[in-house]
Amino acid sequence: MRYRKNGVNILVFFGLAILLLFFLSPIIWNVLTSFKDRGEYFTYPPVFISSTFSFEYYQHGLAIGGAKGIQDSLIITLSTTAISVILGSLAAYSIARFRIGGDNFAFWILSIRMLPPVASLLPLFLFFRFLRLLDTYEALILTYSIINLPFVVWLMKGFFEELPKELEEAALVDGCSRLGAFTRIALPLVSPGLVATALFCFMFSWNEFIFALILGRSRVVPVTVNIAGMIGGHEILWAEISAVATLASVPIILLAFVLQRFLVRGLTLGAVKG
Amino acid sequence: MFKKIFVLVIALVFLTSAAYAATTTLTVVGDAGHNMRPFEWYEGDFRELYGVELIQVGVPFGLLYESQRIEFIGETGAYDFMIVYPKFLAEFAANGWLYPLDDFIQEKDPNFDDIIPAYLEFYCKYKGEVFALPYDGDVLSLYYRLDLLENEEEKAAFQDKHGYELKVPETWDEFLDVAEFFTRKAGETLAGEVLNRDFYGTAYYGVKDQLWGWWAAMFASHGGVYFDEETFEPGINSEAAVKATEIMMEFHNYSPPDVLAYGYEELKDVFLEGDCFMVMQWPCIGKKGADPAESRIVGKIGATHVPGVRVNGEVYFRAPMPAGRVLAIAADAEDPWKAYQVIWHLSVVTSLDDVSTHLTGLDPYRFSHFEHPEAYGMFEEIRDAEIYLAGLRQNLENGFPELTLPGTVEYLDTLGVELTNAIVGAKEPQQALDDAASAWRDITNRLGFEAQKAFYVELVEGWREAGLWD
Amino acid sequence: MSMKGKRERYLPLFFVLPTVIIILIISIFPLIYSFWLSLCEWEIGIGADRVFVGLRNYARLLTDSRFLNSLMNTGRVLFFGVGAQFALGLGVALLLNRSFRGKNLVSTLFLLPMMVSPVVVGCIWRIIYHYRYGPLNYMLNMAGLSSVNWLGSTDMAIYSIILADIWEWTPFMMIVLLAGLQAIPDELYEAARVDGANRWQIFTYMLVPLLRPVMIIVILIRIMDTFKIFDLVFLITFGGPGQASETVSFYNYLTGFRHFSMGYASSMAYFQLAIIVIIANIFLRVWRRREEA
């Protein structure tokens, strides 16, 4: 009997079941709320399953900005993810292979992540006003990219360092260019890590709130801002909020399920090595 | 034939493009939710009458100030006109961010004579110049459960306990007696019925941004003022303030346990769901209370003036006037005149419709709004509408104006924090208020002592003119 | 050949350049600009001019009881929040560190809380914590316990935030620690078992030392993010009641974007940054020493 391959005994099963219940029930509650009528979300005892169970609040939630919010979030998130993964892995490759910037470069990049967002909010606001980019997709895409880049560099550097140098050297001897060695040898080998990294970028940009609040406005309203707007109003439309929140979580959750293989493996590959 | 059609098409293109050229797109920002509904309702009218295409931006009402402010600071010109809370009007106007309306008023009369002076004087003006038109009049009134007050059983029990007749509380002592009397646990009886959940004597707005407004009802009726006019020393640690805080600490005991997390929504719910005997609240609770979709106590709501202090047999009371809404135009608006026409339309033409429906949170601000109880269609009986309007009117005449200095947000925020400290017993009332006063002094010094003082003196003069300051 | 050689030599530089440029322009600029602001008094609320005041803002920080209170609250989130996330995350990771059918599915289900947006998390927990109608108090009542005043009590509010934070971020700890556990080769377990080690010994003498670098990094990341905790506070309590659940980043937001004391807000951000950098350095020093050893 090996330590880690002993399957699931009854104790482990119960432990996992209880923990899963704790971690999933709030999400389930949210989904249930999205079907409730006005009179049903605040009652005692609480209503668990709505008696009407209609999709009315989904429609209404989408109509009052939810659809636009999800669309904006998609545009911003996909662009950000592409930009930061591409630029970030290039930089990470250089750092890993050629020790560009010495040993502390990666740490220095990561330290930018430490800066409290409030410190950069006003300067960024003024900066984008100067460029006349407020309330545009570009502003948020750029902002999220700089926030994501350090993280991408940090993760990808780990993945590249894991790769044996010899593979690329062999390719170089065979007449491959440096760029070729990167795109044809190194990149495919770290692709699980790349997918995991992209997923993290996607998650961050999809979920971000405070920058979106200040840099977006009327033309660009990501879904997080849209939801917060509904909660701050004079009448809190809980069913609509839950409906939009549920829809906003769908892409992320779908991605997580489709890419679950990469998620754990990607992290195993190198992230944890720093 | 073919030619004819061609000409027709050309003509159509010209016509539509001419119409298109005449429309201006204006962006309006306001607090998201029911108070922006009129913009939706009359969208078509604005287009036809004034050639204005509206883009609406709704912001959570706690964030309206920040989001307007940051656009002004960034000089982005993002918003053409907006809903402004009067307490920020002075700040915005002083910075030159708002468009002065005096010339427009000459051209298109907003019928100022009809506006209740209090709302005109310090909701819309800055240094004598008009910068906004009113949209929502706010003053606290006392709303209570008429049915419980008239219940014979409860009346007898109250008489037994306190030795005087159960009636609408007029003074703070009576208020506390009644609140205590009606605070019941689940399982006890109320008006002959066994309660299946706790019932509370009262409740208040406990979130720190507006908490001061409820406290101010006690503070002002005991003679409290914000600052001393001569020395500009904060008046919020005076004897009146301590007394007010002590009363507040007592009625906290008769409120729901989580009352400190109550904002507008929660305070409205606890009363309309029939879980609370009385609340001081904005007038819209009266309107919404008559709507069966939101209220379980339709037809059971009484309205009167907020409690006060008995002086020589007369009750002296002051009704705080937190919030309120006005419509103002940005100094860098695309087309100020068109924007003015839109806000004029809302403040004059449709105002009665907008304040008399439970679909908005807007409340009366013109004399004419009080003269048409029949317009308030959600009240089944006109008598209920009359009770509602009469209660409101009484409070208005004794309104206690909201502070509208630059930095008001910070002043009231720190006061809210220290009041909370006193209510939960983290500090002695005097200590908490002294700390608040010292924070106020710091704020004043940072923003410029002389400027702030001059500002305040001017405010007080305006209040005096409106008959709301001694 | 020499042309190509030259190009090849500079290629690595071209790889790094875009990242560095972007970071320099829009990240270093705010960094320097807001440091300059932290030395000024700038009350943009009243349209006042910027006045250079040296270190006065930093001195004010140390006497501002509301700031110290927010610092305490952040400390609480760090200690209880990150602590519980670590303990729970490690527990779940150990439970999952075995092969069974549907393991990937179960691990992914555990990840859902961190995938959902903090704004959504805030909304969800606000309903859950509702004193009279929330499902949480209902379940407590069913279990014979009395209702907890989650959001309306100055003692409780910050812990309600912490609980929501634990719920949201334990999965992150779990997934990274699990990845670390799975990187440990099977042979080591075998060897330990052959040597007659029991489970506890395997855990303390083998797993913990091997996992140490991963633990340090994941805790460090959570600490850095905890200093930024904002969305949950914003949506669940807005810092209330009073100042009871204000964290540093939330109070920082209030001073900057509600009171509009831009200079003071910047100094607060820098103070915060200094603390984070110190903590990060301590962690990394420990980590490096481990690596060298």
Looking at per-residue pLDDT, the higher value among C6 and C53 belongs to: C53
Is residue B172 pLDDT above 90, yes or no?
Answer: yes
Question: Within a domain: residue B425?
Answer: no
**pLDDT tens string A101-127:** 666 666 666 666 677 777 778 788 778
| Residue B7, pLDDT score | 61
**Side-chain-facing half-sphere of B30: CA atoms under 13 Å:** 29
Closest chain B C-alpha to A218 CA, distance in angstroms: 6
**Side-chain-facing half-sphere of A269: CA atoms under 13 Å:** 25
Closest chain A C-alpha to B63 CA, distance in angstroms: 8
The verdict on a CB contact (< 8 Å) between A119 and C31 is yes
| Residue type at C228 in one-letter notation | K
Is residue B8 pLDDT above 70, yes or no?
Answer: no
Give the H or E element holding residue A62: none
Contact B260, B416 (CB under 8 A): no
A chain contacts of residue B205, beta-carbon cutoff 8 Å: none
Any CB–CB contact under 8 A between C150 and chain A?
no
Domains in chain B: how many in total? 1
B chain contacts of residue C43, beta-carbon cutoff 8 Å: 446-447
Contact C53, C39 (CB under 8 A): yes
A chain contacts of residue B67, beta-carbon cutoff 8 Å: 217
CATH number of the CATH domain containing B30: 3.40.190.10
Segment 54-113 of chain A within 8 Å of chain B by CB? none
Contact A249, A206 (CB under 8 A): no
Share of chain B above pLDDT 90, in %: 52
* Mean pLDDT value across residues B410-438: 95
Question: Within a domain: residue B28?
Answer: yes
- Maximum average pLDDT range among A37-46, B367-376, B426-435, C254-263: B426-435
| Residue B143, pLDDT score | 94
Is residue B278 pLDDT above 50, yes or no?
Answer: yes
Instruction: Go through A153-177 and write b for each residue having 16 or more CB atoms within 10 A of its CB, e for each that does not.
Output: bbbbbbbbeebeeeebeebeeeebe
Q: Which single residue is written with the structure tokens 């914003």?
A: C234
Give the residue numbers spanning the domain of B123: 17-137+322-380
Share of chain A above pLDDT 90, in %: 16
Any CB–CB contact under 8 A between C16 and chain A?
yes
Question: Within a domain: residue B11?
Answer: no
User: In the predicted model, what is the mean pLDDT of chain C?
Assistant: 86
CATH of segment(s) C42-292: 1.10.3720.10
**pLDDT tens string B300-317:** 999 899 999 998 888 999
Structural Rg of chain C based on CA atoms: 24
The verdict on a CB contact (< 8 Å) between B74 and A126 is yes
Chains that touch B (3 or more CB pairs under 8 A): A, C
Looking at per-residue pLDDT, the higher value among C235 and C23 belongs to: C235
Any CB–CB contact under 8 A between A91 and chain C?
yes
The verdict on a CB contact (< 8 Å) between A230 and B32 is yes
* Mean pLDDT value across residues A193-219: 86
- Paired strand residues for B311: B314
User: For chain A, which residues make up each domain, given as ranges?
Assistant: 57-273
| Residue B104, pLDDT score | 93
Segment 18-77 of chain B within 8 Å of chain C by CB? 62, 65-66, 69-70, 73
* Mean pLDDT value across residues A146-162: 82
User: For chain C, which residues make up each domain, given as ranges?
Assistant: 42-292
Any CB–CB contact under 8 A between A126 and chain B?
yes
Share of chain B above pLDDT 70, in %: 95
Number of H helices, E strands in chain B: 21, 17
The CA–CA distances, whole Å, from C151 to B182, C124, C133, C163 equal 24, 14, 13, 12
User: In the predicted model, what is the mean pLDDT of chain A?
Assistant: 81
- Paired strand residues for B141: B281
Give the H or E element holding residue C208: helix C208-226
Closest chain B C-alpha to A93 CA, distance in angstroms: 40
User: In the predicted model, what is the mean pLDDT of chain B?
Assistant: 88
Any CB–CB contact under 8 A between B59 and chain A?
yes
Query: What is the C-alpha separation between B86 and C172, in angstroms, rounded?
Result: 46
B chain contacts of residue A229, beta-carbon cutoff 8 Å: 32, 58-60
Question: Within a domain: residue B126?
Answer: yes
Any CB–CB contact under 8 A between C94 and chain A?
no
| Residue A109, pLDDT score | 63
Domain A57-273 classification at class level? mainly alpha
> Mutation test of the interface with chain A: which of C43, C95, C114, C123, choosing the one with the most A Cβ atoms within 10 A?
C123
| Residue type at B317 in one-letter notation | F
| Preceding peptide of B134 cis, ω within 30° | no
| Residue B162, pLDDT score | 92
| Residue B341, pLDDT score | 93
| Residue C251, pLDDT score | 94
A chain contacts of residue C189, beta-carbon cutoff 8 Å: 2-4
Using a 10 angstrom Cβ sphere, with 0-12 exposed, 13-18 middle and 19 or more buried, the burial of residue C102 is exposed
| Residue B317, pLDDT score | 92
Q: CA angle at residue B125 from B70 to B392, to 5 degrees?
A: 100
Q: Residues B210, B214, B215, B221: is their CA dihedral positive or negative?
A: positive
| Residue A270, pLDDT score | 47
Is residue C48 pLDDT above 90, yes or no?
Answer: no
Is residue A252 pLDDT above 80, yes or no?
Answer: yes
- Maximum average pLDDT range among B83-97, C43-57, C74-88, C203-217: C74-88
- Confidence band of A1 (pLDDT split at 50, 70, 90): very low
Task: Put residue A172 in one of left, alpha, beta given phi > 0 → left and psi -120 to 50 → alpha.
Answer: alpha
| Preceding peptide of A45 cis, ω within 30° | yes
- Confidence band of C102 (pLDDT split at 50, 70, 90): confident
Looking at per-residue pLDDT, the higher value among A123 and B439 belongs to: B439
Is residue C84 pLDDT above 80, yes or no?
Answer: yes
Looking at per-residue pLDDT, the higher value among C99 and C110 belongs to: C110
Write the residue in A2, A119, A274 that is nearest to C217 by C-beta. A274
B213-227, B345-359, B446-460, C37-51: least confidently modelled range: C37-51
The verdict on a CB contact (< 8 Å) between B57 and A218 is yes
Chains that touch A (3 or more CB pairs under 8 A): B, C
Any CB–CB contact under 8 A between A125 and chain B?
yes
Query: What is the C-alpha separation between C163 and C160, in angstroms, rounded?
Result: 5
Question: Within a domain: residue B157?
Answer: no
Looking at per-residue pLDDT, the higher value among A154 and A220 belongs to: A220
The verdict on a CB contact (< 8 Å) between B74 and A134 is yes
**pLDDT tens string B189-207:** 898 889 988 999 999 999 9
Write the residue in B33, B55, B78 that is nearest to A235 by C-beta. B33
- Confidence band of A2 (pLDDT split at 50, 70, 90): very low
* Mean pLDDT value across residues A223-229: 87
The two tokens of residue B365 are 């601000």
> Mutation test of the interface with chain C: which of B260, B453, B455, B456, choosing the one with the most C Cβ atoms within 10 A?
B260
